[in-house]
């Protein structure tokens, strides 16, 4: 192709590509037996942006994660159970949680858990299109964590409410973070409408799968009370609990 023809061709190609979409999407996963896949709306681009929602599906490993929007009095007990069972976990925290619970953050870090970024103000990251505001959602959390423990926060990010866009995933990657969704979650965050122990155990154990990234909410009284039983039963089934640092 002659250069005079190539230049408008290249320009046309770039224009047709356009900016990445800011369309807000909601995370969910598709499970076919033991196989987990991403939502169809994101399947064409999600693998480009350091996104994790499941680990190695050929290994009986579980990655235990907790979201911490606020403290409901249960995290210390959760940490006790994790310590007793020698299980690592990741706690995704917002900036106010760090400020209001410094002793818990220090304990998480001291006991080998990952304290990870869940944004400063818990917005839909797809809605934060201003670059300065987007960066601030990450940086404010990191600064608060670094002020407390003396080092940068681990570079794992969970989008609040599971809301994202292709653009937000790219910008998250550009900041050096891995996006961590999940391959299991259930309705455990309603503090005034907690599931029964039997329901929760059946749900969690019945959906266990290789490479699982398990999302639990630490505000849940039920989760706290059944956690020891859940961990022991999953270990009995041959599952090993791993750190997000061990993701492939």
- 87-114 pLDDT per residue, tens: 999 999 999 999 999 999 999 999 999 9
What pLDDT is stored for residue 207 in this prediction?
95
Residue 141 has a CB neighbour count (10 Å cut-off) of 26
Bridge partners for 241 per DSSP: 62
143-153 tens-digit pLDDT:
999 999 999 99
Residue whose entry in the numeric block shows the structure tokens 């009370």: 225
What pLDDT is stored for residue 222 in this prediction?
98
What pLDDT is stored for residue 31 in this prediction?
85
- Told to judge if 67 belongs to the known catalytic residues of this protein, a careful annotator would answer yes
Q: Is the torsion defined by CA of 155, 92, 36, 165 positive or negative?
A: negative
Instruction: Sort strands 212-217 and 35-37 into parallel, antiparallel or unpaired.
Output: unpaired
Is it the case that residue 168 has pLDDT exceeding 80?
yes
pLDDT classification of 1: cutoffs 50, 70, 90: very low
Q: Left (φ > 0), alpha (ψ -120 to 50) or beta: where does 93 sit?
A: beta
pLDDT classification of 33: cutoffs 50, 70, 90: confident
What pLDDT is stored for residue 184 in this prediction?
97
For residue 87, the SS3 value is coil
Mean of the pLDDT values across residues 129-140? 98
From the candidates 47, 56, 67, 118, give the one annotated as an active-site residue.
67
Is it the case that residue 12 has pLDDT exceeding 60?
no
Angle, alpha carbons 55-200-94 (nearest 5°): 60
**Could you give all domains of the chain from N- to C-terminal order, each with its CATH number?**
24-246 (3.20.20.370)
Chain centre to alpha carbon of residue 239 = 20
For residue 96, the SS3 value is helix
* Residues 61 and 210: beta-carbon distance below 8 Å: yes
Instruction: Sort strands 25-26 and 240-242 into parallel, antiparallel or unpaired.
Output: unpaired
Is it the case that residue 55 has pLDDT exceeding 80?
yes
Bridge partners for 184 per DSSP: 214
pLDDT classification of 27: cutoffs 50, 70, 90: very high
Runs of H (alpha helix) within the chain: 3-17, 75-85, 95-100, 102-110, 131-149, 166-174, 197-206, 221-236
From the candidates 113, 122, 209, 217, give the one annotated as an active-site residue.
217
Q: For a pLDDT cut of 90, what percent of the chain falls above it?
A: 89
Q: For a pLDDT cut of 70, what percent of the chain falls above it?
A: 92
What 8-state DSSP symbol labels residue 233? H
Is it the case that residue 178 has pLDDT exceeding 70?
yes
- Told to judge if 217 belongs to the known catalytic residues of this protein, a careful annotator would answer yes
Instruction: Sort strands 35-37 and 51-52 into parallel, antiparallel or unpaired.
Output: unpaired
What pLDDT is stored for residue 9 in this prediction?
38
């Amino acid at each position: 192709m002659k250069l005079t023809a190539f230049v408008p061709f290249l320009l046309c190609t770039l224009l047709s590509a356009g900016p990445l979409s800011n369309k807000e999407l909601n995370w969910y996963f598709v499970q076919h037996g033991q196989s987990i896949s991403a939502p169809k709306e994101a399947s064409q681009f999600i693998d480009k942006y350091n996104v994790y929602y499941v680990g190695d599906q050929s290994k009986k490993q579980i990655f235990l994660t907790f979201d911490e929007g606020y403290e409901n009095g249960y995290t210390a007990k959760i940490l006790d159970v994790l310590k007793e069972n020698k299980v690592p976990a990741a706690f995704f925290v917002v900036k106010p949680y760090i400020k209001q619970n410094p002793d818990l953050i220090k304990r998480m870090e001291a006991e080998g858990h990952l304290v990870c970024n869940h944004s400063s103000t818990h917005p839909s990251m797809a809605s934060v299109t201003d670059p300065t505001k987007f960066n601030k959602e990450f940086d404010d959390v990191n600064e608060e964590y670094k002020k407390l423990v003396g080092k940068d926060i681990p570079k794992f990010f969970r989008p609040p409410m599971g809301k994202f866009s292709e653009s937000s995933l790219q910008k998250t990657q550009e900041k050096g973070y891995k996006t961590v969704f999940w391959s299991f979650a259930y309705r455990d965050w309603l503090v005034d409408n907690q599931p029964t122990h039997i329901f929760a155990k059946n749900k969690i154990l019945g959906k266990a799968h290789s490479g699982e990234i398990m999302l639990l909410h630490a505000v849940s009284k039920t989760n706290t009370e059944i956690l020891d039983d859940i961990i022991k039963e999953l270990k009995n089934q041959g599952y090993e609990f791993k750190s997000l640092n061990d993701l492939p």
